[in-house]
Structure formats: structure tokens, C-alpha cells
């Protein structure tokens, strides 16, 4: 069995009756030789971390705002966003009306095999993306 004196990872043991050096102030503004209140180091560390996090978040926000302003100034981006928003709105409206008529009004609509339809929807959306990309190049 090893003693604390033989282990280099532990601080040397204090002898009984030995003078303990006064604590250094952990908080700015404390008088030398006074002990900080419990948790002062943690509080200072947390405040510093929170301040640094706030500064990074504000810098990220400014960068994002600048990127949005650059993209918003481009008319092609505005038109694309406008068209994409209208298409998605119409798709959601169509699905909503279909389910409203089928479930709420109990209209006898043809049943849709969704397990067979969703790949077709993906193919159509992919085709739209390709066509729009080709239209932008010309």
C-alpha cells in the first residue's frame, strides 16, 4: 500500500500544527488574506463563461444577419423563395382539402395508396428541382 508521500499525483500532507498560507483572493476587490465565500470561484467562472458565450452568440447573430441581407438583395433568391413558398402552400392546401373532404365531410373520394404515391411525389419534386436549375443557367 502506498502512502500519500509516495504518490506524485497527490499534494504533500500538512503536518499537524503547521501554518496554512492565507488564501489568495478569487474575486476581484477582495482584501488580501481573506478567504473567498464558498462558490466564489465557480461563480466567477460561470460569469466569465456566460459573458464569452454572449459575445460569441452576438457575433454569430451579426454574421447571420449579414448573410441574410446579402441573399435578400439578390432578386433571383427572392423570386425562388416566393415561388417555392407558393408551391408548398398549394401542396399543403391540397392535402388538407383532400383529408377534410374524406374524413370530415365523408365524401366518397377514391382511396389513395400512400405507400405507392410518396415515391412519385419525390420524383416530381426532384424533377422540378432539376428543371429550375437548368432554367437558371440559361
Whether pTM > 0.75 for this model: the answer is: no
In the chain, % of residues over pLDDT 70: 70
Within 13 Å of residue 14, how many CA atoms lie on the same side as its CB?
Answer: 6
Please report which confidence band the pLDDT of residue 21 belongs to, taking 50, 70 and 90 as the band edges: low
Q: What is the pLDDT of residues 86-125, one digit of tens each?
A: 888 888 899 889 889 988 898 888 887 878 888 888 898 8
Q: What is the pLDDT of residues 50-75, one digit of tens each?
A: 999 999 999 999 999 988 888 778 77
CB of 25 closer than 8 Å to CB of 36: yes
Amino acid at each position: 500500500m502506498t502512502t500519500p508521500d509516495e504518490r506524485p499525483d497527490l499534494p504533500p500532507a500538512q503536518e499537524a500544527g503547521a501554518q496554512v498560507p492565507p488564501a489568495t483572493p478569487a474575486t476581484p476587490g477582495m482584501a488580501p488574506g481573506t478567504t473567498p465565500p464558498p462558490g466564489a470561484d465557480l461563480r466567477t467562472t460561470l460569469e466569465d463563461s456566460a459573458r464569452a458565450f454572449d459575445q460569441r452568440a452576438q457575433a454569430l447573430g451579426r454574421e447571420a444577419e449579414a448573410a441574410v441581407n446579402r441573399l435578400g438583395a439578390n432578386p433571383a433568391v427572392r423570386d425562388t423563395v416566393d415561388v417555392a413558398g407558393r408551391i408548398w402552400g398549394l401542396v399543403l392546401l391540397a392535402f388538407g382539402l383532400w383529408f377534410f373532404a374524406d374524413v370530415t365531410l365523408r365524401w366518397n373520394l377514391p382511396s389513395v395508396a400512400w405507400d405507392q404515391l410518396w415515391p412519385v411525389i419525390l420524383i416530381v419534386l426532384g424533377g422540378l428541382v432539376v428543371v429550375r436549375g437548368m432554367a437558371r443557367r440559361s
